[in-house]
Amino acid sequence: MSSTRPNFCSHCGADLLETANYCPQCGTQCRETTPAERPETKSAPTAATSSTSATNTGESDDTDRAARTSFRRRVEAHLVDGWKMESDRGDSVLIRNPEYGSIGVHLLLLFFTGGVGNLAYGWYCYTQRGERRILRVGGDDTVGIPEDVGSSDTVGVSADLMGYVGGAFSLLMAAVMLSSLQLPLVILGAFFFLAALWMIPATRRRWRDRHPPTTFGHTRSIDETTRFDTDNPCVVCSGSVEEGIERAYREEYVLAGIPLFTTASGANHYCRSCASGDSSGLAVDDSDDVTTETAVETEY
More confident: 87 or 292? 87
Q: What is the DSSP string of 147-180?
A: TTTT--HHHHHHHHHHHHHHHHHHHHHHHHHHHT
Quote the pLDDT of residue 20. Answer: 64
The pLDDT assigned to 274 comes to: 81
Digit-coded pLDDT (tens) for 146-200: 554 444 444 455 666 777 777 777 788 888 888 888 888 888 888 888 877 777 8
Residue of 248 and 294 predicted with greater confidence? 248
| Nearest residue to 30 (alpha-carbon basis) of 46, 14, 49 | 14
Asked if residues 14 and 22 have their Cβ atoms less than 8 Å apart, the reply is no
Rounded average pLDDT over 243-263: 81
pLDDT of residue 151: 46
Which is more confident, 109 or 3? 109
111-155: pLDDT as tens digits? 767 777 778 778 877 777 777 888 887 766 565 555 544 444 444
* Mean pLDDT within 262-285: 67
Query: For a pLDDT cut of 90, what percent of the chain falls above it?
Result: 0
Distances in Å between the Cα of 190 and the Cα atoms of 23, 46, 260 are: 113, 89, 22
Residue-wise burial string across 54-66, b where 16 or more C-beta atoms lie within 10 A, e elsewhere: eeeeeeeeeeeee
Mean per-residue pLDDT over the chain, rounded: 71
Q: How confident is the model at residue 1 (pLDDT cuts 50, 70, 90)?
A: very low
Predicted TM-score (pTM) of this structure: 0.34
pLDDT at res. 15: 74
Residue range 13-57, pLDDT digits in tens = 777 766 666 666 666 666 665 555 554 544 555 555 555 555 556
Asked if the model's pLDDT at residue 67 lies above 70, the reply is yes
Per-residue pLDDT, averaged over 47-72, amounts to 66
